[in-house]
Amino acid sequence: MGVYTYPTGIEIDTRYIENEKGISSFDIEAIKDKIDKALSCGQYLRQEGRVEGHLSKDGEEEAVLFSQLPYIRPDGLNTPELMERLDVFRQHCQDDIDAVVAFGVGGSYLGGKVLFDVHCGSFWNSHSDLERDGYPRLYFSGNNVDTVAVSELIHALQLQAKAKSGYKVMLIVISKSGSTIEPMSNFMIIEQALIDAQIAYEVTAVTDLCQDDKETLLHKMAVENQWPIFSVPDGVGGRFSVFTEVGLLVGAAVGFDIESFLLGARAMDQICESANLRDNPALLLAVLKYISAVSYDRVIEVCMPYGACLKSLSEWYVQLLAESLGKKRSDGSHYGRTPVVAIGTTDMHAQVQEHQEGLYNKVVQFIRVADWDKTILVPDRYPKYAKLASLSGHSLADIMDVALESNAEAQAMDGRFNLCITLPKLNAFYLGQLMFLFCWAIFYESILADVDAFDQPGVEIYKRLLGPKLQERKQKA
């Protein structure tokens, strides 16, 4: 019980969840059989690409292949040929494209947004072409059906086209079926706006080849219009797809280091195979969070990275957890932990009152970066004011670290559960490690909880209602 530093460089501090007020060795020993089963199921998944009992939404046996994604192999999901295609695409975007609009929702949006935020930061689209090294501006659409947001994006593209001769837009449409309402609606609106404004554009499709033995709508459109096609691979759900063409294509458009990202995921995958609980960070996270939920009623997880550029990571993690674990079991009972997005230090002034004095129903997962590669010191501008003078000489990174430590310690003093994951640096390699760590942690917890992490039957219910309701409204109009 304490601080665990793994060979990959990532560190996990469990002192404030494993202690005399929290989880004990007896709690862990009590679920040893479940832990052994989780490890066994993990090995079976790696070897067979299957999870016992998992079926597609049509009731057919379906492969589960996320564990293959870090490896670049001729017979794998990520092949050397794909890496070459992505590099050609990257070069094309750098040389010939001024703006990219990526259309996707859920897993087709969230993973790519993380890669963009970590690699590009908040002000990428405000930088000059030279400052972006020729890479295009990148915008996300299709993650909502929002009139104001779409209108503003169209206006921005029109202004840029007026200001630059030869301006060209790339539209990346990401949809497994091609009929997903949000991205396809926004795509058609923005494509028509580009045509009306006589702005040059091209389209790249990321989609399934077929579903239910029929060619998908987006694949058919792409073939008919001669758009380049990238794949949404079978056996990989959207919430795991950041390691596939779905996320990697978005990263390629802005020069994100794809190979380092996959190398980090590969390094993490290998240590998440260990049968020793303390040597396997994914299993350790899964066990602690599962026990927190079933034995201590800590059924809310706050994912709280410290660093504004990691907010989208927290949003990606929310989908991964919610869609994977919030399930009805075969015996009719239910399991789930409600995920909450937070960001440090911002939400220390918003949510932490609830974390510190609200119900004892939360686990807070802090994420920390040890070295930000940039040092900004607070200057001694107002020495006559003691409180402001006390800040001078401190770096912003130090202030953030001390804020995190104080937050974690304050919660622990009152028996509040929290843990902290530390990355040595924030780059593609460590980001790949962290995101793949979460994929394996969610898988292991699903086995402990006896739920299927790879289906989402609850989502299908509203979808069955939505289509007919839209058609009914159209007929009335």
Give 362's strand partners. 300
Reported as a single tens digit per residue, the pLDDT across 291-312 is: 999 999 999 999 999 999 999 9
Query: What does the alpha-carbon distance between residue 433 and residue 451 come to, in Å, rounded to a whole number?
Result: 25
- What lies within 8 Å, CB to CB, of 46 at 6+ separation is 67, 273
| SS (HEC) of 74-116 | CCCCECHHHHHHHHHHHHHHHHHCCEEEEECCCHHHHHHHHHH
Q: Where in the chain is the domain with CATH 3.40.50.10490?
A: 3-57+276-459, 66-256
| CA 260 to chain centroid | 17
Q: Which CATH number fits domain 3-57+276-459: 3.40.50.970, 3.90.1150.10, 3.30.930.10, 3.40.50.10490?
A: 3.40.50.10490
Q: What is the mean pLDDT of residues 326-349?
A: 95
Structure tokens given for 392: 């001078």
Question: Residue 212 — pLDDT band, cuts 50, 70, 90?
Answer: low
Task: Decide if pLDDT at 371 tops 70.
Answer: yes
Q: What is the distance between the alpha carbons of residues 350 and 339, in angstroms, rounded to a whole number?
A: 16
Instruction: With cut-offs at 50, 70 and 90, classify the pLDDT of residue 213.
Output: low
State the DSSP code for 379. P
Quick one: which of 371, 465, 470 has its CA closest to 422?
371
Tell me if the bond preceding 345 is cis, omega within 30° of 0: yes
- pLDDT average, residue stretch 371-386: 96
Tell me the whole-structure pTM to 2 decimals. 0.95
Chain mean position to CA 164? 34
What does the pLDDT average to over 190-200? 98
- Taking alpha carbons only, the member of 359, 338, 343, 344 closest to residue 414 is 359
What does the pLDDT look like over 24-63, one tens digit per residue? Answer: 999 999 999 999 999 999 999 999 999 998 988 777 889 9
Residue 465 pLDDT greater than 90, yes or no: no
| CB-facing half-sphere around the CA of 345: CA atoms within 13 A | 12
Place of tokens 């909450």: 340
Residue 477 confidence (pLDDT) above 90: no
| pLDDT score at 49 | 95
pLDDT at 349 (0 to 100): 97
pLDDT tens per residue across span 104-162: 999 999 999 999 999 999 999 999 999 999 999 999 999 999 999 999 999 999 999 99
The CB density around residue 458, as the number of other CB atoms within 10 Å, is 13
Query: Token digits for 253?
Result: 């458009």
What does the alpha-carbon distance between residue 109 and residue 246 come to, in Å, rounded to a whole number?
8
- What CATH number belongs to 66-256? 3.40.50.10490
Alpha-carbon distance of 196 to 130, in angstroms, equals 29
What the block records as the tokens of 248 is 């990697």
Q: What percent of the chain has pLDDT over 70?
A: 99
At residue 248, what are phi and psi to the nearest 5 degrees? -65, -30
Report the greatest alpha carbon distance in the chain: 75
Distance from C-alpha of 315 to C-alpha of 94, rounded to nearest angstrom: 28
The Cα-based distances of 25 to 225, 363, 444, 463 in angstroms read 61, 18, 19, 44
Residues with Cβ within 8 Å of 33's Cβ and at least 6 positions away in sequence, in order, are none
pLDDT greater than 70 at residue 211: no
Strand partners, 100: 138, 170
* CA distances to 202, 213, 226 from 222, in Å: 11, 18, 6
Helices (H) and strands (E) in the chain, counts: 16, 15
Q: If you search the block for the tokens 């990520």, which residue do you land on?
A: 78
- Beta pairing, strands 200-207 & 229-231: parallel
Query: Mean pLDDT in the chain?
Result: 95
Average pLDDT over residues 2-8: 96
Ramachandran region, residue 471 (left: φ > 0; alpha: ψ -120 to 50; beta: rest): alpha
What is the Cα–Cα distance from 185 to 141, expressed in whole angstroms? 10
